[in-house]
Amino acid sequence: MKKRTKLSLGGLALVAGALLLSSCTASFCSNLDKAHILYAFDYGVCDYYDAEHKPEEAIRAIEGNDNIWYVINVPSNAGSGIGKTKSDAIKSGFALPSNNYYVELDKLVLTNALKESKLDASTVKFDEAIQALDNYGYLKFYSNTDGAKLWDNWTNLNQEIKDGIKNGTNSLTLDDLPSNDYLKLYQKDMNSLIASYRSCLSINTDDYGFYGYANGAHYRSDDKVKVEIEAKGWGYAWKRGFFEGLLVYPIGWLTETLVHSFKNGGVAGGVAQLLAIFVITFIVRSLMLVVTLKQTTGNAKMQALQPDIAKIQNKYPNANTNNYEKQQMAAEMQKLYKKNKINPLSTLLVMIVQFPVFICVWGALQGSASLSSDSFLGLHLSDAINTVLFNGVNWANGSAVTALVLFLLMAAAQVLSILLPQWIQKAKRKKVAQLGKNPAQNQQQNQMKMFTYIMMAMIILMGFTLPSAMGVYWFVGALFSIVQTLVVEKITSSKTKKKGR
């Protein structure tokens, strides 16, 4: 196999590995968090009204209570749980449950919420009932019973409806009920719907994010809602995994602390998030610089030695085909590296160290609950750039423009930070008179170029699909790298001049 082919396959393997490892950090969402998110995507089919605002077709929600009324409004939006499952069920040829089933399920959810709120169903007011649903509607999917799993309560509610048919405590028939295929499809669709929501790393139990679908069933006017995410401790993080405890949680904790601190200081939410990411980037990159200082210095020395390397390569123009010249050139190169205390593999070592850190930063910023709330110029930093760009609505509200500008700035900064060291090397090589073409040197340079291009393509591709917060992190990180390269180059050049090189 040709070296170029091997290099290409290696680059593709690196891309695949990066995409694979990026999903290795565990989600911090607990079953309680997931239940809250699930409820945001499925409030049911009942639009509730008080007696003063109820439409003519409204039906009394609670027997004997004239304060709460409802109108059946089955969601058709594919972003809602019922709407998506209804569409998928029709495609699969599954029978749909009747509206009476959905209404009965909503009544049970309301009844349980009132019980949890310790409210009397016969006298409860409209606002109290809606507040009870907001506080305890998530129990539709979650049970407070020890050892209970997500969906257990939902299964129990469906069983209660079936028992009600047998006992005559509800007016449904077996024809109203969903089939087992429909119920399995609903669970699958809902789990899939919330799988991409991982912003559950929080240090304070509070309402976060923007979840759900437009015009929920609780007399709401807003399109999306925040949901309660419970606080997580370091012990919880260690249970999620080694890297989650070692790096992801500390970075996430610091992100949450910074965002809260900036907001408490009067900074707007979106700006507070940006400032937090700037600080996180500076801290992480500074620590990485300290850890990899020896390797970074070695890379700088390699750049300073480019004239000497070029001279050696020019002495052996046939090293690509002549084994003797190849061995002689390798010996002289090794002697040069040893004399200057350089490890040619230092760049690879830096990447090995940096990669898991990058993955953990990714997991922390993706998991940060605070970054899923508020927005900057209309852009929610928890949303992936490509998701924002491919939604036509976002071009109207301006968030897509912000995402596009962020992506272009990130891509340009990354390209500059990666190519700058090569440009410096190229400039130094030009100072050496070329004695002739060196196929070995040209092949090595071509391989390095190809590797660089693959790396740039990988970064830009990943940046396009990452949460916007990571786009900000990569942009600031690239600026950090550019400054680092220029400073190290300046220092190295000064030392070289003093040695009389």
Q: What is the CA radius of gyration of the chain?
A: 30
pLDDT at residue 106 in the model: 95
Give the pLDDT of residue 218. Answer: 46
CA contacts within 13 A on the Cβ side of 473:
31
Calculate the alpha carbon distances from 404 to 141, 276, 463, 499 in Å: 38, 21, 11, 48
Contact 107, 129 (CB under 8 A): no
Q: How many angstroms separate the CA atoms of 323 and 7, rounded?
A: 22
- pLDDT confidence of residue 383: 83
| pLDDT of 225 | 83
Provide the angle, in degrees to the nearest 10, between the axes of the packed helices 249-264 and 346-367. Answer: 50
The per-residue pLDDT for range 102-117, each reduced to its tens digit, is: 999 999 999 999 999 9
SS3 content of the chain, % helix, strand, coil (to 5): 65, 5, 30
Q: Which pair of tokens denotes residue 431? A: 């100072």
| Whole-number pLDDT of residue 215 | 44
Residue 217: the pLDDT is: 45
Helices (H), strands (E): how many in the chain? 20, 5
**pTM score, whole prediction:** 0.80
Q: Are 132 and 119 in contact (CB under 8 A)?
A: yes
Tokens 């965002």, located at residue: 259
Residue 68 near residue 50, CB atoms below 8 Å = yes
- The answer to whether the CB of 269 falls within 8 A of the CB of 391 is no
C-alpha–C-alpha distance, residues 161 and 168, integer Å: 10
Under-70 pLDDT residues of the chain: 1-24, 78-79, 213-223, 291-304, 343-352, 428-452, 455, 492-493, 495-501
Tokens of 127: 């606002």
Would you state the pLDDT for residue 445? 58
